[in-house]
Amino acid sequence: MSFPTPRRLGYRLNLVGMISAAVALTWAVIAVIAPWLTPYGPGEVVDFDYFGPISEQFWLGSDYLGRDMLSRILVGTRYTVGISLAAVLIACFTGVVLGMTAAVIGGWYDTILSRFLDALTSIPSKLFGLVVVAGIGSSIPVLIGVLAVIYTPGAYRFARALSVNINTMEYVTAARARGERTLYLIRHEILPNITGPVLADMGLRFVFIVLLLSGLSFLGLGVQPPNSDWGSLVRENIGALSFGAPAVIMPSIAIATLTISVNLLIDNLPVKIRDRSE
């Protein structure tokens, strides 16, 4: 019994894309099963030699309190990936729905919504995050909400630009002539034709959110103790860069591998192979 390969299905998979997908998927799986992978509790002091070196017992060394860095990075994956994924899903869902609706309805609705989100876009994202989190406090729901608000305008502008082009097509005009309502046009005519670019845009925004979340955590306004994400792990141990480098470098490598792999995956998405008979 043979299974269909990507080439049989009509897609050519790039080697770089496959490797990037494997790395990104590995981090996603770790985020789900992290508690079952950690050799020690993430808050447990297991090494009396703080900033201990890499050894057979501590594969990534220990931090400033003697806690196992491997365990803390694995558990931190849940916060970095989980918060970023929740924020990008909310941002892209809201932005895409508003963008498609504005393109179909047009008129004053489109004008008012576009100007409001343009004004929100003009505020620097990191400054906006710092002000809001510093003002109302840092918690996981607040971080998700702030990150979603920051990246909703960009998702809206992207989806609206695509939807405006689709909205001028003849099949959309024919659907309007049949008397189809706005919801039908959005669900059956516009959304299926912008799904691919929207998913690629979502991947890029996920990378931006991971970097912004890590930046906020590095400044002390992200995930708060006793919990920690990768950015806060770097902040906690930054003072030991000269003599306890693994505690700083390892979470930095985690951030780099996740963001670079998602970027490369988007750049090397499967390409449809043209039929030679065409």
Pick the most confident of 14-18, 112-116, 128-132, 178-182.
112-116
pLDDT confidence bin for 270, thresholds 50/70/90:
low
d(CA 186, CA 103): 9
Predicted local confidence at residue 249, as pLDDT: 92
d(CA 165, CA 160): 9
Residue 256 lies in a domain: yes
* Rg of the Cα atoms in the chain: 23
Give me the half-sphere count of Cα atoms (radius 13 Å) on the Cβ side of residue 173. Answer: 4
Backbone angles phi, psi at 6, to 5 degrees: -55, -35
Residue 61 lies in a domain: no
d(CA 240, CA 246): 9
Domain that holds residue 203: 77-264
Predicted local confidence at residue 277, as pLDDT: 34
- 3-class SS letters over 36-54: HHCCCCCCCECCCCCCCCC
What tokens appear for 77 in the block?
A: 């994956």
Residue 108 lies in a domain: yes
pLDDT confidence bin for 158, thresholds 50/70/90:
very high
- The whole-chain average pLDDT of the chain stands at 86
Residue 168 lies in a domain: yes
Predicted local confidence at residue 79, as pLDDT: 94
Predicted local confidence at residue 184, as pLDDT: 86
pLDDT, tens only, 175-204 = 888 888 888 888 888 988 898 889 889 999
Residue 146 lies in a domain: yes
Query: Which is more confidently placed, 214 or 3?
Result: 214
Sign of CA dihedral 242, 27, 157, 152: negative
CATH number at residue 129: 1.10.3720.10
pLDDT, tens only, 131-151 = 888 888 888 999 999 999 999
- Greatest extent of the chain over all pairs of C-alpha atoms, in Å: 76
Residue 121 lies in a domain: yes
Residue 155 lies in a domain: yes
Q: Residue 12: pLDDT above 90?
A: no
Count of domains forming the chain: 1
Query: Which is more confidently placed, 247 or 269?
Result: 247
Residue 137 lies in a domain: yes
Asked if 273 and 11 count as a contact pair (C-beta separation under 8 A), the reply is: yes
